[in-house]
């Protein structure tokens, strides 16, 4: 999917360009998106300020893209100070665009009763799971944010529906693209062999997944499936890239049950490891536009994924989909693919074709600019 980039919202002659403030939380996925978006907006003549955790500037280098960065502590418990800091950063802004629920709430509070009304756009990249009393708190936060926003953009259709259910005046599907890593060519057998040799799987199938190590991200069913893969000959290895608070619990279970799983920690070579895999596995409880799914299809790696959130509309027919929390279905789908090279080749080709239909970074910037332009002329 591609479009011709639009021109930025044009101010009257003699007036400065639109100043758009982007408010960023702690999500890695939204950080990559905001870095790409901010760079595209600057290239099209806008003045852009990004407010977010100090670690975001170190991780994404907003300054190198011509973006002004203002450190903002968005952690829970810093509400009043964060609101005051954000209000100061928004002085003179023509529009504020917050990414995520907490960032949206901070922006809504910072823009309350300003000297002049400033439009608020909120993008929901993910959803917050909560139980008990906290679930009601999250519900109230979502209502407050959606009702304060002029436009809510959802990364998947179910997020758009959720925003409308919470009272959004205008909720739309976002066009969200992330930069595509440089993968080794699909027929680069030397690079593939090197990555597999490092993991000791030259003669074994390699399964790959990546993500934050939290048990509520679907690792329980994934390890249940891995228990069934122990009976395969040769036995596949599941390599997991990523870190998180539940790594000790996950590692304990791997050791106690002798599961063919290796936790790799944070890896800078995820594209190489993914490209070397026989099958990529996504076992999440919920995803909007899964980065792992996008990278697998871009790289032509067969994908088995849970049919949750925005995953089905993202991958179409280019992946094997299974229900969430059904380890038998997950294990069977992977086993079937490992035994069927023709089906893996078919999915690899379908994945590359599906990836071509996704929005590009230019599409993303053009879409956001059209929203800004619309709000500027209201």
In the chain, where the domains are located: 19-177+359-373, 189-356
d(CA 84, CA 80): 6
Query: Is residue 115 pLDDT above 70, yes or no?
Result: no
E strands along 100-177, which residues? 120-124, 151-154, 171-173
Instruction: State phi, psi for 183 to the nearest 5 degrees.
Output: -90, 150
**Using 50, 70 and 90 to split pLDDT, how confident is the model at 270?**
very high
Query: Is residue 3 pLDDT above 70, yes or no?
Result: no
Q: Classify domain 19-177+359-373 at the CATH superfamily level.
A: Glycogen Phosphorylase B; (3.40.50.2000)
Query: Is residue 36 pLDDT above 50, yes or no?
Result: yes
Share of the chain above pLDDT 90, in %: 80
Secondary structure (DSSP) of 210-233? ES---GGGTHHHHHHHHHHHTTSS
DSSP run (H or E) holding 84: helix 79-89
Q: What is the mean pLDDT of residues 91-115?
A: 91
DSSP run (H or E) holding 374: helix 361-376
Handedness of CA 201, 206, 212, 214 (dihedral sign): negative
d(CA 309, CA 157): 8
Instruction: State phi, psi for 239 to the nearest 5 degrees.
Output: -100, 130
In terms of C-beta density within 10 A (0-12 exposed, 13-18 middle, 19 or more buried), how is residue 219 classed?
Answer: buried
pTM: 0.89
Instruction: Please tell me the least confidently modeled range out of 121-125, 192-196, 305-309, 361-365.
Output: 192-196
- Residue 48, pLDDT score: 98
Q: What is the mean pLDDT of residues 362-372?
A: 97
Any bridge partners for residue 48, and if so which? 20
Tell me the helix, strand and coil percentages in the chain, rounded to 5: 45, 15, 40
Query: Is residue 92 pLDDT above 60, yes or no?
Result: yes
Any bridge partners for residue 36, and if so which? none
**Using 50, 70 and 90 to split pLDDT, how confident is the model at 114?**
low
**Using 50, 70 and 90 to split pLDDT, how confident is the model at 7?**
very low
d(CA 104, CA 41): 20
**Using 50, 70 and 90 to split pLDDT, how confident is the model at 130?**
confident
DSSP-derived pairing of the beta strands 206-210 and 279-282: parallel
SS3 79: helix
Instruction: Please tell me the least confidently modeled range out of 5-9, 17-21, 309-313.
Output: 5-9
Instruction: Please tell me the least confidently modeled range out of 17-21, 79-83, 182-186, 236-240.
Output: 182-186
Q: Which residues contact 295 (CB under 8 A, 6 or more apart)?
A: 180, 181, 270, 271, 274
Q: Which residues contact 296 (CB under 8 A, 6 or more apart)?
A: 274, 280, 282, 302, 303, 319, 351
**Using 50, 70 and 90 to split pLDDT, how confident is the model at 292?**
very high
Q: What is the mean pLDDT of residues 115-137?
A: 90
- Residue 4, pLDDT score: 44
Q: Which residues contact 255 (CB under 8 A, 6 or more apart)?
A: none
**Using 50, 70 and 90 to split pLDDT, how confident is the model at 184?**
low
Query: Is residue 71 pLDDT above 50, yes or no?
Result: yes
Query: Is residue 35 pLDDT above 60, yes or no?
Result: yes
- Residue 135, pLDDT score: 94
Longest dimension (CA), the chain: 72
- Residue 182, pLDDT score: 72
Q: What is the mean pLDDT of residues 84-102?
A: 95
Query: Is residue 77 pLDDT above 70, yes or no?
Result: no
Q: What is the mean pLDDT of residues 249-269?
A: 97
Q: Classify domain 189-356 at the CATH superfamily level.
A: Glycogen Phosphorylase B; (3.40.50.2000)
Q: What is the mean pLDDT of residues 232-257?
A: 98
Q: What is the mean pLDDT of residues 36-43?
A: 96
């Amino acid at each position: 999917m591609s479009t011709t980039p639009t021109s930025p919202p044009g101010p009257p002659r003699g007036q400065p360009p639109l100043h758009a403030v982007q408010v960023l939380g702690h999500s890695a996925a939204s950080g990559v998106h905001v870095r790409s978006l901010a760079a595209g907006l600057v290239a099209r003549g806008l003045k852009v300020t990004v407010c977010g955790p100090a670690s975001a500037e170190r991780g994404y280098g907003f300054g190198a893209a011509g973006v002004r960065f203002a450190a903002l502590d968005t952690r829970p418990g810093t509400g009043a100070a964060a609101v005051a800091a954000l209000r100061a950063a928004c002085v003179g802004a023509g529009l504020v665009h917050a990414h995520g629920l907490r960032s949206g709430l901070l922006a809504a509070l910072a823009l309350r009763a300003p000297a002049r009304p400033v439009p608020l756009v909120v993008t929901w990249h993910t959803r917050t799971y909560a139980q008990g009393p906290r679930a009601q708190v999250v519900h109230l936060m979502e209502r407050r944010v959606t009702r304060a926003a002029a436009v809510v953009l959802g990364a998947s259709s179910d997020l758009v529906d959720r925003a409308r259910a919470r009272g959004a005046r205008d909720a739309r599907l976002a066009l969200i693209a992330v930069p595509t890593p440089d993968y080794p060519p699909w027929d680069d057998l030397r690079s593939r062999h090197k990555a597999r040799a490092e993991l000791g799987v030259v003669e074994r199938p390699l399964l790959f997944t990546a993500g934050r190590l939290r048990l509520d991200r679907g690792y329980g069913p994934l390890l249940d499936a891995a228990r069934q893969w122990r009976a395969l000959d040769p036995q596949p290895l599941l390599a997991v890239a990523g870190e998180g608070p539940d790594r000790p619990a996950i590692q304990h279970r791997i050791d106690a049950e002798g599961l063919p799983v290796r936790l790799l920690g944070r890896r800078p070579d995820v594209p190489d490891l993914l490209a070397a895999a026989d099958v990529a596995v996504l076992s999440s409880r919920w995803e909007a536009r899964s980065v792992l799914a996008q990278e697998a299809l871009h790289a032509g790696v067969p994908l088995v994924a849970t049919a949750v959130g925005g995953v089905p509309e993202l991958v179409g027919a280019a992946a094997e989909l299974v229900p969430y929390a059904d380890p038998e279905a997950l294990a069977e789908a992977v086993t079937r693919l490992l035994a069927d090279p023709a089906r893996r080749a078919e999915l690899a080709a379908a994945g590359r074709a599906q990836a071509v239909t996704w929005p590009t970074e230019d599409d993303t910037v053009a879409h956001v600019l059209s929203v800004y332009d619309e709000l500027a002329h209201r």
